[in-house]
C-alpha cells in the first residue's frame, strides 16, 4: 500500500511508470499483455478487462491511466503507429525485462 501511495502521489516518474506500477500493484497482472482495448469507460467508471467481468479501477489509478493513454510513448516509429498495446515496445509490447527499467 505504501508503494501504491508513492505511485499515486507522483513520487514515481514518468507517467508511464506510474500507470504500469499502479496496475501491477493493484491487480498483480503482467502489464505487458494489456491493450488499450482492455481499458473500458462506462460512464464515470473505468474498468480494466483482465477477465470476465472487467475489474473496476479506483479513481486515483483510473485518473493516472487515462492521463497516460493521452500521452503514450514510443508511438512515433513506423512499427508502433497503430499499436494497440498499452505499453508498446519495438514492435511487440513492452517485455518484463525492460519494464524494470521504467520504475
DSSP 26-56: HH---GGG-BGGGEEEETTEEEE-SSSSPEE
Per-residue pLDDT reduced to its tens digit, 36-62: 999 999 999 999 999 899 999 998 889
Q: How far apart are CA 91 and CA 87, in angstroms?
A: 11
* Confidence category of residue 103, pLDDT binned at 50, 70, 90: very low
Q: What is the fold of 2-99? A: hpI Integrase; Chain A (1.10.443)
User: 50: part of which helix (H) or strand (E)?
Assistant: none
Amino acid at each position: 500500500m505504501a508503494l501504491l501511495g508513492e505511485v499515486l502521489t507522483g513520487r514515481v516518474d514518468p507517467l508511464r511508470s506510474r500507470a504500469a506500477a499502479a496496475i501491477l500493484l493493484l491487480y498483480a497482472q503482467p502489464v505487458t499483455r494489456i491493450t488499450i482495448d482492455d481499458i473500458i469507460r462506462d460512464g464515470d467508471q473505468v474498468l480494466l478487462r483482465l477477465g470476465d467481468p472487467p475489474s473496476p479501477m479506483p479513481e486515483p489509478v483510473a485518473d493516472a491511466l487515462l492521463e497516460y493513454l493521452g500521452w503514450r510513448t514510443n508511438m512515433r516509429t513506423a512499427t508502433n503507429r497503430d499499436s494497440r498495446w498499452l505499453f508498446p515496445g519495438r514492435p511487440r509490447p513492452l517485455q518484463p525485462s525492460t519494464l524494470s527499467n521504467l520504475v
